[in-house]
Chains A and B, each alone.
Chain A
């Protein structure tokens, strides 16, 4: 009985480890962990956002830098905040990592993404 119990605990631990390895690696975003996943639509209808999101943030960057206007729906920090996913350990995964929200689509579309040369790729809290 004692041996059996010990064996079953060991088996459970091993299975758990295997499942952990198979499902998600650390540093890989988990489906459904972004805030955006729980929302019906972005700051504008999805079809509009797909085609025009850059127009929105391009104008936003000028009014933010030159006029100091920050209270608006269109901000790159807002994009990152809402679309960043977490890995299995609960750490944010950079949005420009291969397969993540920003990079996934830009790679497919062959559009180079320069925002993240300078801008934060995960929320930094300050």
Chain B
């Protein structure tokens, strides 16, 4: 409890900080490009709506072969780096089974020999096969388009892992010793990229992978807002959905694949 005598000072400090935050929130990086401050937004107090649909555009021409900055940033943000190899497991098995929200995939055009590297994660489909097959409703699509797993109801059957055409889901095989507050996880549940949902709910405007990519290959934003960076980029460049033949209407799209 603060002392009554301290209140005037405290108030001035707060006003000053709020003012400083306001200035930071509108910093102009380049004409027409605004950086929004992440920290001065309050946590969400109303339910998410379908007025927004979050999505991403990944420019594979900027994606360097052998770079895994986005993967490490994702691991750190979502506590995946806290997981340890189970006792007795071989390195090979661990690499194959360790939970990862982003995989780096290399595509080769057999006719031309052109190789493309890209990060592959949950594509946040509008019609997600993982949600179709989930027997408990744990796999669901949030109103704002984020496909995620409610671990409270996940029974670990892994149907969704089989159904996902993108191999985007991981399974937690062992008890988790060190846990992160923002990304709870435990043995027997499936998980995948949730577009840094904790940042969405706390007013953040970026994802960890986007922040980590020095090449600027990842653009994240609201697909329903025609003025968002991601919509603008999609309007400008030719983009593709991976496995567009499945008609899933993915929220993550790629250029030059």
Contact = CB atoms under 8 A, between A and B. Distances in A.
Contacts of B155: none
A67 B141 CA distance: 10
A72 interface: yes
Interface stretch (B88-96, B98-106, B197-205, B237-245): B197-205
Contact of A71 (B44, B176, B187): B44
Contacts of B187: 117
Interface stretch (B25-33, B67-75, B114-122, B178-186): B178-186
B140 interface: yes
Interface of B: 42-48, 77, 79, 140, 142-144, 148, 150-152, 175-176, 179-182, 184-187, 189, 197, 200-202
A8 interface: no
Contact of A66 (B42, B142, B151, B200): B142
Interface string A85-120: 000000000000000000000000000000011111
Contacts of B197: 68
Interface in A54-72: 61-72
A67 B47 contact: yes
Contacts of A64: 201
B205 to A, nearest CB: 15
B101 to A, nearest CB: 16
27 contacts: A61-B152, A62-B152, A65-B150, A66-B142, A67-B143, A68-B44, A68-B48, A68-B142, A69-B45, A69-B46, A69-B201, A70-B43, A70-B202, A71-B43, A71-B45, A77-B181, A116-B179, A117-B175, A118-B179, A119-B179, A119-B181, A120-B179, A124-B179, A124-B182, A126-B77, A126-B180, A126-B182
Interface of A: 61-72, 77, 80, 116-121, 123-126
Contacts, number: 70
A72 B46 CA distance: 10
B181 A65 contact: no
Kindly list the 7 A-B residue pairs having the minimum CB-CB distance in the complex, ordered from nearest.
A118-B186, A67-B47, A71-B45, A71-B43, A70-B43, A117-B186, A118-B184
Contact of A123 (B42, B47, B143, B181): B181
Contacts of A80: 181
Given A119-B179, A123-B181, A66 B150 contact: yes
Contact of A124 (B140, B148, B181): B181
B141 to A, nearest CB: 10
Nearest to B146: A68
Contacts of A68: 44, 47-48, 142, 144, 197, 200-201
Contacts of A123: 181
Contacts of A71: 42-45
A115 to B, nearest CB: 9
Nearest to B76: A126
